[in-house]
Amino acid sequence: MSDAHLSGRQFDDGTPLVQLTDEPIELDAREQADGTGQGDARSRRGRLVMVLLAVVAALGVGVFGTWGWRIVQQKDARITTPDQVAGLRLDTSDRAASTADYLRSGIAADIQLDSSFGAVYQDPADERRSVLIFGGTTLLWQPERDLESLFGLMADETATVTGLRDVSPGPLGGVMKCGSTSGDGGEFAVCGWADHGSVVLGMFPARSTDEAAGLLRQIRNGIQSRD
């Protein structure tokens, strides 16, 4: 087989199929026996396939291991509604209780949860900046999808949530997103988080999305725990 024959073969984009060098090509015993080189080519292809399979298997195990460990870490979430959290005070009035129950019922109807909650927290410095928060706990295989479903529920109840973007979820991990929507009191921020054990949404009147994101992280640290 001549060098001209090999170097003349190219891929469709013009790249040479074989780069020839001046170094002699040494044949193993099987190639020397049949004089064709086909045995070694088959051997190299076999080794390449085995390497590729090993890499794919290793990557698969790594991804599954990370995903599985994350589920184990996050699946047993608990959420409480303490009297005070992040500088806010739990509103126990009949009106707040009715609002909280409405929110809790809304999410429970849309997402299958093991437990659900709703709460209204008052800002002692400004009653217009009350925080409405609701959600629940269960094993979630796709937290981001369920969080987006919850934002969709919010859009059905009010107006479309705009400017939705990822924000840092903080030390508890998972995914957190924030956007804004409008209601009777004007435009307000909406932020939520989801992990493999919980999904929660909060409404933040008279606050920017950046401020709401920071406040939700504080609230989450105060109300969420894991077994």
Tens of pLDDT, residue by residue over 119-171, are 999 999 998 999 999 999 999 989 999 999 888 877 665 568 889 999 999 99
- pLDDT of 76 > 90? The answer is no
Could you tell me the pLDDT band of residue 46, with boundaries at 50, 70 and 90?
A: low
- pLDDT of 70 > 90? The answer is no
- pLDDT of 218 > 80? The answer is yes
CA-to-CA dists, residue 190 to 37, 38, 91, 133, 155, angstroms: 67, 65, 19, 10, 11
Q: Which of 1-5, 89-93, 189-193 has the lowest mean pLDDT?
A: 1-5
CB 219 within 8 A of CB 133: yes
The contacts found for 208-215 with CB under 8 angstroms, 24 or more apart, are 209/163, 209/165, 209/167, 209/178, 209/179, 209/180, 210/178, 212/178, 213/167, 213/168, 213/176, 213/178, 215/86, 215/131
Q: How many CB atoms lie within 10 A of CB 146?
A: 21
As a whole number, mean pLDDT of residues 34-49 equals: 53
As a whole number, mean pLDDT of residues 174-189 equals: 87
CB 221 within 8 A of CB 171: yes
Percentage of the chain surpassing pLDDT 90? 48
Q: How much is the pLDDT for 153?
A: 77
0.75 cut: is pTM over it? no
Comparison of pLDDT for 1 and 90, the residue scoring more: 90
Q: Roughly what angle, to the nearest 10 degrees, separates helices 143-157 and 94-110?
A: 120
* Highest mean pLDDT pick, 2-6, 106-110, 126-130, 189-193: 189-193
- pLDDT of 29 > 70? The answer is no
Q: Which of 9-23, 193-207, 213-227 has the lowest mean pLDDT?
A: 9-23
Q: How much is the pLDDT for 75?
A: 83
Q: How much is the pLDDT for 3?
A: 43
Output the average pLDDT for the chain: 78
Q: Give the separation between CA 58 and CA 55, rounded to whole angstroms.
A: 5
- DSSP state letters, 175-213: EEEEEEEEETTEEEEEEEEE-SSEEEEEEEET--HHHHH
